[in-house]
A and B are shown apart, each in its own frame.
Chain A
Amino acid sequence: MKNLKWRKWNNILHRDLGYLAVGLTIIYSISGIAVNHVEDWNPNYKIRHIPVKTTFFDEAPVQVLVSKVLTKINIAEKPESYFRPSPQELHLFFKNKTLKLNIARGTGEWEIVEKRPILYEFNYLHLNHAKKWWTYFADLYALILLFLAISGLFVLKGKNGLAGRGKWLTAIGIILPVIFLSV
């Protein structure tokens, strides 16, 4: 009778906490795949480069230079700010894009940055960029996942439970990461 009660509550909690965890598990899984491949791509931003070719510009006070560049390249938008990394270079910062120009050569590029919709937000949560109270919420989610993993072992009985096929599959799931760590 005691066992029955224990298993009943195990399954109820596994079920209900499982439902609660669905949303975040989807978010963390998708984000996990995305950031796992951070060496191959930028999981947060899509960055495009568009070359620019224009005439060279004579040295001038930076405000004058900026005005000349905007006129010459036909840019109606006013830059939010600008910076000169060196006497030959001028960077103009606009909303979500930067114009990097070599004024001595008249060449450069637009760098256009776009957040990857949805994925940016998923990564924001998964990687805990929010910090503060989200840290504790994420800790709670981790504890729920831990519970789901352990309680899942005891949901079923018999040949499909831990005593049956379950022990083999669980063992494989543990041995594989150990092998990776040992190699």
Chain B
Amino acid sequence: MTARTAVEFKHVAKSFADRKVLIDVSFTVAAGEALCIMGRSGIGKSVTLKLMIGLLKPDSGQVYIESEDIVPVPEKELSRVRRNIGFLFQSAALFDSFSVGDNLAMPLRRFDKSKSPSEVEQAVNEMLKAVGLEKDKDKMPAELSGGMRKRAGLARALVLNPKLLLVDEPSSGLDRITAGEIEDLLLRVKTERHTTLVIVTHDVTCVRKVADKVAVIDKGNIAALGTLDQLQSSENQVVRELTSESSQ
């Protein structure tokens, strides 16, 4: 039996002005699998994530989420697709003017109108407890450290129990210990919730810990796709250097 496909890119191309970022990108991610996307800075990794959630539209090609091509889906109908996708931004992107608790409650109030205020509060409390921020519910994002912001962002991305979680640079700006805690949380999301993960990262330690598969983007194409061990012995020098654990 083959695993259900959660994400599929088919010949996706994307340019900004006259700069071709993605030329012909194709790959699939099976449901429940964790794919890490690696590549040099500015190569189009975050663009790939944003294409998956419809924040950007490709110039050509198809982006399938749960077997539905989301490229022709109008903006107003994308909320149906996004309902099942969580996104942890590089900067966490918490809403500055709301408390941590309200940041988590916002998607619940928007998507799950059947929930009473006490049920929303309970769901928020549970999710904050899961990421170790139960005492920080009333704090404003500016009062949180980088690691706490990431954990709060992760809690917000998971509060609707999405089938697919997109993560942009989970360990950027964090020390190794704090980055390790975020990676542990991601691993738990994968093993306990069976959430499909697509993670953009430079961090090979994160890849080693969480990824089932690694895709390396180079020169607008997928330069290599496989397990970390396979890519570490690739003939492509860029792939070998990006996946080398000794360079960390």
A binds B: no
Q: Which residues of B contact A (CB under 8 A)?
A: none
